[in-house]
Amino acid sequence: MSRVNEEHKGLLDKAWAVQHKIEERQQRIGKGKYGRVLKMTRKPTNEEYEKTAKITGAGMMLIGALGFVIYIVRELVAPWILKALGY
């Protein structure tokens, strides 16, 4: 029975060590290279989040459309040009 208590105690010691390590890391946040930036951050408002999501979505659609146009040019127009030039 005492062996079980010793194993349990060892497990608790390991858990406390992990907890202390986590707390030490948390205390160091804000003191490093980017600490000032992290301290200035805040949760965006709903309006800011919606604007960011819309702009990001529009950018993704634009890049996708550009890629599709390039694909169409490569598949349809480029062979026609090569045939006209005699290649």
pLDDT tens for the chain, 87 residues long, are 455 565 667 888 888 999 999 888 877 776 777 777 777 888 999 999 999 999 999 999 999 999 999 999 999 888 888 888 887
- What pLDDT was estimated at residue 34? 74
Whole-number Å distance between alpha carbons of 65 and 59: 10
Domain positions in the chain are 1-41, 44-87
Give the residue from 82, 64, 62 showing the smallest Cα distance to 74: 82
CB distance 53 to 61 below 8 Å: no
- What pLDDT was estimated at residue 6? 58
- What pLDDT was estimated at residue 59? 98
- What pLDDT was estimated at residue 67? 97
CB distance 14 to 22 below 8 Å: no
